[in-house]
Structure formats: C-alpha cells, structure tokens
Chain A
C-alpha cells in the first residue's frame, strides 16, 4: 500500500512538473504580446568579387624601407627632374615632351 501511495505521489509530482514546463514554454506567446517575434532580415551580401585578392598584400619580399634622409633626397631629385622635364615641355610643347619617361628613382 505504501509503495502504491509513493508511486501515485511520484506520478503526481511528475505530472505537475510536466504541466509547469508546458506552461512556461507557452507563456511568452500567450502573455507577452508586446514582444514581437524576432524577424530575420536578410541583408544583401556585400559584393566581394575578387575583393580578397585585391586587398591582400601581394606575395613576395617585403619592400625595403630606405632611410628617411635618402627618401627626401630622392623626392628632391624627382622634383628637380620633373621641373626640368616640365620646362622642356613649356619651351616646346609636344606630346612626346609631356610624356617623356623619367629616370627618377622615386617612381622607378
């Protein structure tokens, strides 16, 4: 008899837990109408055609960083060469003069 009563008790307790779990699972939809269900917004994927290839650094040895004094000298030399080329163009304006190649280390 005791065993039967214990079994009944466990059965009721189990049913009570099941009912509570069911109520908890269904409550948000029934009792909180202000909360909207989360909507999944499908954003267009960013255009990435070959973008990784373009932004990735080119393979190969890292560029050698020359001292800043040498770099400034290169810039100065470049300006002088460009000025001379521009003067030649102004003296005799032709396409060839305008687009003549420079020997400047700064851009070669």
Chain B
C-alpha cells in the first residue's frame, strides 16, 4: 500500500510544478526549509550539510521550516539584467522572523517609490508568495518565492 502511494506521489510530482530551488517546498503549501545545526542553531539554505561553518561541529542537522514572513533588511532596484528578465525590479534581503535571511524579489511595491524614499522599504513587514516564472525543458511549471508587503 505504502509502495503504491509512493508511486502515485512520484507520478503526481512528475507532472506537477517544480520549485526553482530545492529549499522551496510546494506541498502541502509553499514554504522554505533550512538545515539547522543542532549545536549552534545556524541555519543553511542548502539541502544537505556535512559540517557547520559557524560552530565547526558535524551537526547533527535537522530540517527546519522557515517562517513565511519577515522584514526587508536592504534592497536594490535592478535596471540592467540578463535577457528575459523584466526591469526595473526590487531585489531585497529579507530577514525572516527566526533570524534566517533570504534573497528574493519584492513585488507589489513600486521600484520608483523605493528609489525616491529608500527608508520606506527598510524594515517593511513582508509575506511570502509564490509565482510561476516559466517552464523547464520537460514542460513543468517552475515556481519561485517572492515577498509582498504584509496585508
């Protein structure tokens, strides 16, 4: 039974959308997962860790679900990017509520307003949302996470 369920899960995952990075999980609802050091609490966004770069221990490491909200630490407004990337857009460092930081786009906030009054964006409370940003070579929707001002 369990075997059958696994096969079905694999099939569902195979035809469904894919996260743009391994630390974004789409089920049961979109969330970020970090690897947390059991000794010092340092949390990494890589899916595996062999040692802790902060406390130098070998862990153990466990999965930690990261909060879906945080505050803007700093940002930049990008006007020149790779082909296919629409500019201008806001890139930001989001300090999540548990002390982990991630890099992401901020949406639903005017890049022009951010440049005019940068201090309006510092410390702004934001929440995570996901969006489809394209299709991969196998035809799967590719999903990113980004942040918008908290409602």
A complexed with B? no
